[in-house]
Amino acid sequence: MAGDPLTLHRPPAVTPLVDPFGRTIDYLRVSVTDRCDFRCLYCMAEDMTFLPKAEVLSLEEIDRLASAFVRRGTRKLRLTGGEPLVRRGIMDLVRSLSRHLDSGALDELTMTTNGSQLARFAGELKAAGVRRINVSLDTLDEAKFAHVTRWGRLPQVMEGIAAAAAAGLHVKINMVALAGINEDEIGDMLSWTAAAGHDLVLIETMPLGEVAEDRVDRYLPLSRVRRELERRLTLIDLPDSTGGPARYVRIAETGQRLGFITPLTHNFCESCNRVRLTVTGMLYMCLGQDDSADLRAVIRATSDEAALDAAMVEAIGRKPKGHDFVIDRRAARPALARHMSVTGG
């Protein structure tokens, strides 16, 4: 006899990953490469040494690991890097992972990119089910852009962003606030994003990895940016809906949404729902702590998915309550030795 059709089509029950502080971990960020075609001042040194190929997860290994998280309730996957769109075969991975969108297991498959390759890939991303992307853009001034990214060229990125919008991707612009570089441009960036229909998120610099720049000089507290914006505009706080580190306001005058990511001036850890996988298969339970779990060792040792699952559960059991970033004038070293391009932003 036929069963209840609803029961028959219900996906298998998922046991979510819950950390010791009761936070459900349902967001995985995956760094798919440590390489990049830019050398942003705050992110990389100019003469970066990249990982040997044997250390880097294959696309199949990334798929296996990400899919294991999806089985345990991950609803959102973000591909990042390095620059994800310079990884050879990246679209094969995106298309493969999109099966979890089709099955309904995943709500969102998305990407953070510098935009340099978007003109080429925007259409394919949209066709694979990607709906929104984050594009990092710190300035609209060509000379400053070349200075900040060292190797990047603004027109190429603007073309990429236009291609993304034309393909129907919703674009969120990530702008790292840099004292003495782009602090006078936040108004222009707001006007441009409002006119183009993009969201804007401002990010404070984080002390990750050795770079040539002095971060103390570049650190621009967003509390100050906000105060300055409030002299001209009415910012209305929006309730936190993402569970993420961004706090959003609506600008009454334009209706535009503006986000602030303030790891240093606002502690967002209590609502943290995410973990990060590096391209070497290390799972970082917190962007601001050094503890990690070597999932590459597990998947290269066995094809047993239960062993992988056990390793994931053990790792989530070590997720710390929070981070302790400080940009310290006295400390010559960054708070964490690894670069953002290793863990993924």
Q: Which residues bind ligand SF4 (CB under 6 A)?
A: 36, 38-40, 43-44, 81-83, 114, 136, 341
User: Alpha-carbon distance 20 to 318, whole Å?
Assistant: 8
Residue 117 interacts with ligand SAM (CB under 6 A): yes or no: no
Binder of residue 44, out of ligand SAM, ligand SF4, none (CB less than 5 to 8 A by kind): ligand SF4
118 binds, among ligand SF4, ligand SAM, none (CB under 5 to 8 A by kind): none
Q: What string marks each residue from 18 to 57 as x (binds ligand SAM by CB under 6 A) or -?
A: ------------------x-----xx--------------
Pick one of ligand SF4, ligand SAM, none as the site partner of residue 205 (Cβ within 5 to 8 A by kind): ligand SAM
Compute the radius of gyration of the chain from its Cα atoms: 20
**Which residues are paired to 248 by β-bridges?**
259
Min separation Cβ 174 and ligand SAM, Å: 4
Per-residue tokens: 313: 């559960």
Could you give the residue ranges of the DSSP H alpha helices within 197-272?
215-218, 222-232
Among 208, 269, 283, 285, binds ligand SAM (CB under 6 A): 208
Residue type at 79?
L
Q: Is 69 in the site for ligand SAM (CB under 6 A)?
A: no
203 binds ligand SAM, rule: CB under 6 A: yes
Q: Does residue 139 interact with ligand SAM by CB under 6 A? A: no
Question: Which structure tokens are listed for 130?
Answer: 């990607």
Cα angle 282, 291, 65; round to 5: 25
CB of 223 to ligand SF4, least distance (A): 23
Give the separation between CA 11 and CA 6, rounded to whole angstroms: 10
| Burial class of 95 by CB neighbour count within 10 A (0 to 12, 13 to 18, 19+) | middle
